[in-house]
Amino acid sequence: MALPVAPLAAYAFLLLWSAVPFAPAEPVLLTGGAFAGSGGLILPFAILAAAAGSLVSDLAKYALGRSAGPRLLARIARHPAGARAVRWIEGRLVASGPMVIAPSYFVPFGVVTATILCGALRMRLRIVAVASAVGALIWSTVFLGLGYLGAAVTGNPWFGAALAVPAALVIGLLAKRKVVRDDAAACTCEPAPAQHEEPCPLAA
């Protein structure tokens, strides 16, 4: 099946969509990878376009973190998954520094939290950019690769993208389980809170 737009426009769309902060880009990547699998796009070019856009998005969130980090993190923490992501990122930021951004790409709310927190803590931009570039390349390779494999199996880009969706969901669920498990372990190991503090919700 032919690509519905010119390849250059498709690469530009991958780049621009991935550059939009807070926009869910995984469905776009799965579809782009599926069209690469059917011959409409060149997979390495698609990966580079998506990774470049995601890097721009990360740097924008880093800048937001520098100007309004605590307020943004408080809004993220209103969601249960967001609160877990904030605790998970904070727990690894001391040991890993900005490199926590790379694995956070696969955690719900993870890369948003990590880049905003790096900005709020005024971490060095160069190190944040390197960590974001590594994470963006891995993330774009995984999701575009899933779409590519789906199209290679089905011979149709739309069927290939649909086939890749369950695999992408499994990755998300595994990442979420890892965060929940780590968060529960951290809450269990923490000393009992004082009476004026709220207990960790996962420790119950």
Question: Does position 192 have pLDDT exceeding 60, yes or no?
Answer: no
- Residues 147 and 164: beta-carbon distance below 8 Å: yes
b/e 40-66 (16+ beta carbons within 10 angstroms → b): bbebeebbbbbbbbbbbbbbbbbebbb
pLDDT for residue 51 is more than 80: yes
The answer to whether position 193 is within a domain reads no
Alpha carbon distance 134, 147 (integer Å): 20
Does residue 156 lie in a domain region?
yes
- Residue 100: inside a domain: yes
Residue 176: per-residue pLDDT: 57
Q: Count how many Cα atoms sit within 13 Å of the Cα of residue 8 in the half-sphere of its side chain.
A: 0
Angle 167-171-177 from CA coordinates, rounded to 5°: 140
pTM: 0.78
- The count of structural domains within the chain is 1
Q: Which residue has the tokens 């929940």?
A: 180
pLDDT score recorded for residue 202: 33
Lowest-pLDDT choice from 34-43, 121-130, 161-170, 191-200: 191-200
Rg for the chain (alpha carbons), in Å?
18
Residue 196 is assigned to a structural domain of this protein: no
Containing domain of residue 24, as a range?
Answer: 7-184
